[in-house]
DNA sequence: ATTTAGTTGTTCCATTTGGAACAACATGCG
DNA sequence: CGCATGTTGTTCCAAATGGAACAACTAAAT
């Protein structure tokens, strides 16, 4: 077996959590990556869904009817990415679409029972990964974290850019 | 001007922060996106750097010498992505590379003064964006958040996957 | 009514991305 | 030594991604 580490230099790769110029942002991004990427890879492998597609399912499982534009706003993703996902999820039977009679430009999207079933499976992957990554925190820390995160997220949602 | 909202239905798109099945993970990812994507777009527009490239600069501005593999571990990105970034940053003169005399497989990377200057500029973009997104929190909340995030990040760093 | 401006969803196209396979090198074991 | 296994960095290739332009539609102003 090849040697794992050169004996002289085994730098502690986590010291960057302290030395970085934007500590909160770095830690948030690090945790997001630690949660999302492995779950994302598993979901892609097991169900063939790409990110924009389960973003669509998640959004529509929490709101009765949304336009593609709404989903783009919720997820901060480009409209064309969502548009593509809509077509694939329509083809899969995971959602339905009806033109808005009141506004010919937009179409209202709705999740189907099949889509909801798929969303349940996907949620389990993400919830599991959340537990693994945040498992080192106490119940009290989890609660405090959730509260502050919510306040910050609500503030971030008011930013246009 | 076209109408902004249909009078009947203006759903509160932030209610998903509460109803989602994995609240902490969702809020963390939402905040990460709110911080990183706009900063990423600005950095690309102003300096032509893509994500893996400034990940490389950030990593090397906080550690004297790293292998490409180290950077991949720090950033949780595929090795080939880092490999490409190394070549571009070498061509730009932002880093230098010497083969490790003790191990012919790996090469030790180091940031140049030019690379450090570029990293300073990039950091400002991310720090600014961090302030904008987290600006709604009190000083005490910021401190508590940073503490819990660090603990969670250190735990996440121990996970192999 | 015509013009002007804004919005929605879509297609086009170039770039970015990451999995898989690969060559080069390192180490352990018979 | 010769073989098996692991690691590093790279290339190949198919897929995902997102900016820009576009057509269809809506609404307001003149």
Give average pLDDT by consecutive 10-residue segment, chain A, 161 residues.
44 88 95 92 91 94 95 93 95 93 91 96 94 96 98 90 66
Q: Is A63 exposed, middle or buried (0-12, 13-18, 19+ CB in 10 A)?
A: buried
> Where do the H-state alpha helices sit in chain A?
16-19, 23-47, 51-60, 68-75, 79-92, 113-134, 139-157
Closest residue in A to B29 (Cα–Cα): A32
Q: What's the pTM value of the predicted model, to 2 decimals? A: 0.90
Per-residue pLDDT of chain B (161 residues; tens, 9 = 90+): 444 434 344 568 889 999 999 999 999 999 999 999 999 889 999 999 999 999 999 999 999 999 999 999 999 999 999 999 999 999 999 999 999 888 989 999 999 999 999 999 999 999 999 999 999 999 999 999 999 999 999 999 988 76
Query: Nearest nucleotide to A5 by CA–C1' distance?
Result: D7
Position of tokens 């598993």? A42
Q: Locate A53 and state its tokens.
A: 């597609």
pLDDT of res. B5: 39
Q: Locate A126 and state its tokens.
A: 């993400």
Tell me which of B145, B146, B147, B158 to substitute to probe the interface with A (most A C-beta atoms closer than 10 Å). B145
Q: Report how far Cα B158 is from the mean position of its chain's Cα atoms.
A: 19
Query: Nearest nucleotide to B49 by CA–C1' distance?
Result: C16
Give chain A positions within 8 Å (CB) of B58. Answer: 16, 20
Instruction: Give the 3-state secondary structure of B71-97.
Output: HHHHHCCCHHHHHHHHHHHHHHCCEEE
Q: Locate A45 and state its tokens.
A: 């492998």
Say if A99 is an interface residue toward chain B (CB within 8 Å).
no
Q: Which of residues 3-42 of A touch strand D (CB under 7 A)?
A: 4
Asked if B29 and A32 come within 8 Å (Cβ–Cβ), the reply is: yes
pLDDT of res. A10: 55
Give the model confidence (pLDDT) of A12-56 as tens digits: 888 899 999 999 999 999 999 999 999 988 999 999 999 999 999
pLDDT of res. A11: 67
Query: Nearest nucleotide to A4 by CA–C1' distance?
Result: D7
pLDDT of res. A6: 41
Asked if B152 and A11 come within 8 Å (Cβ–Cβ), the reply is: no
pLDDT of res. B101: 87
Query: Nearest nucleotide to B4 by CA–C1' distance?
Result: C7
Say if A34 is an interface residue toward chain B (CB within 8 Å).
yes
Q: Is the CB of B45 under 7 A from strand D?
A: no
CA-CA distance, A150 to A124, in Å (whole number)?
21
Roughly how many angstroms between the first and final C-alpha of chain A, as a whole number?
A: 50
Q: Which of residues 91-150 of B touch strand D (CB under 7 A)?
A: 105-107
CA distances to B46, B47, B92, B120 from B86, rounded to whole Å, are: 20, 16, 10, 18
In contact, A17 and A26? CB cutoff 8 Å: yes
pLDDT of res. B66: 95
Asked if A25 and B126 come within 8 Å (Cβ–Cβ), the reply is: yes
pLDDT of res. A101: 87
pLDDT of res. B104: 86
- Chain B nearest CA to A16, separation (Å): 6
From the list A9, A11, A152, the residue facing B134 with the nearest CB is A152
Of the candidates A17, A139, A123, the one whose C-alpha atom is nearest the C-alpha of residue B156 is A17
Task: Find the residue closest to C16 using CA and C1' atoms.
Answer: B50
């Amino acid at each position: 077996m090849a040697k794992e580490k050169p004996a002289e230099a085994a730098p502690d790769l986590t010291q960057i959590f302290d030395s970085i110029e934007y500590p909160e942002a770095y830690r948030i991004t690090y945790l997001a990556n630690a949660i999302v990427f492995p779950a994302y890879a598993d979901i892609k492998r097991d169900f063939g869904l790409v990110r924009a597609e389960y973003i669509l399912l998640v959004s529509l499982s929490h709101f009765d009817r949304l336009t593609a534009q709404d989903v783009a706003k919720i997820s901060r993703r480009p409209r064309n990415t969502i548009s593509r996902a809509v077509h694939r999820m329509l083809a899969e039977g995971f959602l339905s679409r009806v033109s808005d009679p009141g506004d010919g430009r937009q179409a209202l999207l709705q999740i189907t029972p099949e889509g909801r079933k798929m969303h349940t499976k996907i949620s389990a992957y993400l919830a599991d990964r959340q537990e693994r990554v945040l498992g080192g925190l106490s119940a009290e820390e989890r609660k405090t974290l959730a509260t502050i995160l919510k306040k910050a997220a609500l503030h971030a949602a008011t930013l246009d850019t």
